[in-house]
Structure 1
Amino acid sequence: MKFRATLVVGIAAATALALTACTGGGGGSASGGGAIDTSGELSGTIKFQTWSLKNEKFSPYFESLIKDFEKEHPKVKVEWLDQPGDGYQDKILSQANSNTLPDVLNLPPDIGYPLVAAHKLLDLAEADPKLEAKYNKGGWEAYSSYTGIKGTYGLPWYTGSDLSWWNLDQLKAYGVAKDNLPTTTDAWLDLAKKVATDSQGKVMLVSSMPGLDTFVSAGIPVMDDKGDFVFNTPEAEKIVQKYADAYKAGAMPPEALSGTYSGNAEMYLQGKVAYSTGGSGFAGDLRTKAPTLVDVTAASARPGIPPLFVQGLNVSADSKNKAAALAFAEFATNEKNQVAFVKLAIGFAPGTASGADEVVKAVESDSNVPPAQAEAMKIMFAALPEAKATPYQWTGADTTFLNQQMALAVRGDIAPKEALDKIVKNANDNRIDK
């Protein structure tokens, strides 16, 4: 089960604006309506839509979830819909334009944006002011940070993050051990340069170009209060220059800057690099694809602020049965039901404020799960309270342009400042929320 955030990289401005125009949205405020009382007797039918989760593995879970909810609310009927993975955002926008959005649906923050701007999603913080304390802080903020729009438009459902993975066998000759791994971006890049120099380029610790998450991890503000990208700063220039210095010292495979790049995780599995990033599920990849690396690999938290990947459940503002829809969204995302879900979706974390310990215990007791997986999950879960999601305004096109400019800067063809200025200008010129 691949994390949905790796498949969704933003929505084209034209699509978002087309939806807003069709539905009469503007952007300054979003759908509200005040608090919604779910404590009384609920009745009626609601539709619940998931994203490519109706299958042998997850169907029994959702069937049981719905049955339990209907048992608590015998006058409510929940109809479960599931959309295939491909074309999901197009399907969502089509439903919104035709006023056929399900009552409860699954949206990551970026796909949610055009619906929020068009007043198609319910402000859940207004609907139930007691909710915020129940959920992961970063996940809650991811649905509460739509530029110029107050409110919260999704309940964190399941989350994930990346870890660092180190080949200690390759690194031990250079004084690197599990107890002294770098914990900051600067320290990691300094180590990469040193190890490359000492090994004459044989041991490489940089296998990807700097991305937006690199600057987030380093604690560099990437956006201002107006929603403009602002990471073309001296601090970011320093990081890009460190990448360039590491590349020059032989710390980075040349293919990482080219179209032949297969990904840092794949290069790690092939033994080409001694460092990679990846989710806790990478432990399973090691066991199946590179078993000789299992015993020499150690996981640690990502240097600096870890990235956050988040999926949420949302409520349609056009629902004819908001009380039942809200009640079901809260029920599906409560700690008990989230824990049960991520016990199946191994490698993910519940979007609630707690519950991670129970998941780890379940994984540790499962003989089918490699011990390294449980250890990695402990590390990831410990980091999640401080994790931050990439701004929803950052699109796949922005990433493509960034990679082009960063390749030039890392090779030394242009200065870091020039690359960052171009990247920031391009991102601001093409923001999906303008």
Structure 2
Amino acid sequence: MRRLSRRAAAATAVLITSALSLTGCGAPGEAGGSDSASGKVEGQVTFQTWNLKTHFKKYFDGVIADFEKKYPDAQVKWVDQPAEGYPEKLSADAAGGTLPDVVNVSPDLAYPLAKAGLALNLEKAAGKYRGEYLEAAWQSHGMPGLQGVYAFPWYLNTGPMFYNKDLFRKAGLDPDKPPTTYDQLFRDAVAMAQKSGRKIAMLASTPSIEDFGRYGVRLMNAQGTAFTFNEPRGVDLLQHYKELYAAGALDSQALTAQAESAGRKFEQQSVAMNPGSALDLGNFKKDAPSLYKNIGITDAVNNTGKANMYVQGLMVNAQSKVKPAAVTFAHFVTDRQNQMAFAKQVTIFPSTKGSLDDPYFTEEDGTDATRVRVASAKSLKTAVNYTPVLLSDQMKTVLRNAVAKAVQGKQSPKAALDDAVAECTRLLKTG
């Protein structure tokens, strides 16, 4: 399945413009009437997912059949869109007034719809269900500058970190105590570089916006009108990465490396830590058995005590003509039973309270899949979505370029982040 946060900045900007231009669209909750979803569960609900039909048709057919049996006056028409062009499809639907009743969205795609008044405020319409979900998952579809929550939380994911216990041992580090905070990571990384004569780096990538969040940096102001990752703590993080790079503790290709090349470095055992999945473990077992026998699994380091959460949701169209049925169906798909059943078909995690305590997520059976599943489920109980919903691909590039300049010493960390914040905020205001 796709990574759970997919960004298409240009299309999302078009969506905002198109949606706001619709006749009758205004503040959240105003479009199509009130936020009320009370009434009889009846009529045809159009349900749109995002690249799921090919592999999960049987599952969704079953969920729909169960819903229609429970609510015989309601019917569900399922439409699945390909991953390619999905934001553009939402934009066209918003502009044409043909947005489905229930729509699969990530928080970044929900934002322009909520801002345009096309996403139903579920705090008002379905607040009674809030206690069924992990609090951070429920809040993940809250939007900067808007009151409320604009999608039911659906499935979650997170990224555990792999580390090489043998490289830790050789560097004089405890292989059973990988770094859990950034201060410990920085100390261990320098020690490893020194001990190996700069041949082994701890990391193979520079910090992304998620790292700034995990470091404890405030990324945006409360109103969602300006970025703030250039605050002193953000400068401090970037200064540390500059020092890691100079010490050989950050791989020399980190400034240009993609995730795939970082993975190869880890497999070649020239890098000691790297994010991964159960699929990677299987590849290590086959292609790098000496690495596989020394693999450790831990959470990505953080200073907040909370891992990063990737989340998908189900948004209800505020203009839906079958609002009671749409809200009831979106809740039905995301309830504990149906989320649990989905999680047993694919490597995702439920957003419902108590689900992650199920033995399926707490007990290992010796397989690679369960090793990663148990580690990920544990961290998701308290995870949060660090990536601001307003951060576009273009803004991510701005930040990545600023980080590269600072790490190489071409610009001071403060100046680099000041410039990045100014440019990202400009892009935010110009749409």
Same fold at TM > 0.5:
yes
Matched, 1:388 2:384: yes
Q: What RMSD, in angstroms, separates the aligned Cα atoms of the two structures?
A: 2.3
Find the counterpart in structure 2 of residue 297 from structure 1: 295
Whether the 8 Å contact between 1:208 and 1:263 is mirrored in structure 2 is: no
Deviation at 1:299, TM superposition (A): 0.6
Find the counterpart in structure 1 of residue 45 from structure 2: 46
Separation in 2 of the partners of 1:242 and 1:206? 13
Deviation at 1:352, TM superposition (A): 1.3
Which range moved further: 103-112 or 379-388? 379-388
Classify the secondary structure of the residue corresponding to 1:130.
helix
Deviation at 1:61, TM superposition (A): 0.4
Whether the 8 Å contact between 2:216 and 2:233 is mirrored in structure 1 is: no
Give, as a single letter, the amino acid of the residue that structure 2 aligns with 1:360. Answer: Y
Deviation at 1:275, TM superposition (A): 0.7
Whether the 8 Å contact between 1:109 and 1:143 is mirrored in structure 2 is: yes
- % of aligned pairs identical? 31
Matches within 5 A, 1:15-414: 15-24=14-23, 29-31=28-30, 33-37=34-38, 40=40, 42-55=41-54, 57-144=55-142, 146-227=143-224, 228-258=226-256, 262-279=260-277, 281-287=279-285, 289-304=287-302, 305-346=306-347, 348-358=348-358, 360=360, 364=364, 371-389=367-385, 390-414=387-411
Deviation at 1:287, TM superposition (A): 3.7
Deviation at 1:426, TM superposition (A): 1.2
Give, as a single letter, the amino acid of the residue that structure 2 aligns with 1:184. Answer: T
Classify the secondary structure of the residue corresponding to 1:19.
helix
Classify the secondary structure of the residue corresponding to 2:111.
helix
Find the counterpart in structure 2 of residue 428 from structure 1: 425
Separation in 2 of the partners of 1:209 and 1:425? 21
Deviation at 1:269, TM superposition (A): 2.5
Give, as a single letter, the amino acid of the residue that structure 1 aligns with 2:374. Answer: K
Deviation at 1:361, TM superposition (A): 5.2
Whether the 8 Å contact between 2:193 and 2:200 is mirrored in structure 1 is: yes
Deviation at 1:206, TM superposition (A): 1.5
Find the counterpart in structure 2 of residue 419 from structure 1: 416
Classify the secondary structure of the residue corresponding to 1:310.
strand
Separation in 2 of the partners of 1:278 and 1:426? 32
Deviation at 1:30, TM superposition (A): 3.9
Separation in 2 of the partners of 1:176 and 1:88? 46
Give, as a single letter, the amino acid of the residue that structure 1 aligns with 2:400. Answer: N
Give, as a single letter, the amino acid of the residue that structure 2 aligns with 1:206. Answer: L
Deviation at 1:22, TM superposition (A): 2.1
Whether the 8 Å contact between 1:280 and 1:380 is mirrored in structure 2 is: no
Whether the 8 Å contact between 1:27 and 1:148 is mirrored in structure 2 is: no
Separation in 1 of the partners of 2:174 and 2:371? 17
| Alignment size in residue pairs | 424
Whether the 8 Å contact between 1:244 and 1:411 is mirrored in structure 2 is: yes
Deviation at 1:154, TM superposition (A): 0.6
- For normalisation by structure 2, the TM-score amounts to 0.92
Whether the 8 Å contact between 1:28 and 1:149 is mirrored in structure 2 is: no
**Against the structure 1 CA distance between its residues 363 and 81, is the aligned structure 2 distance closer, same or farther, given a 3 Å change threshold?**
farther
Which range moved further: 181-190 or 272-281? 272-281
**Against the structure 1 CA distance between its residues 387 and 263, is the aligned structure 2 distance closer, same or farther, given a 3 Å change threshold?**
farther
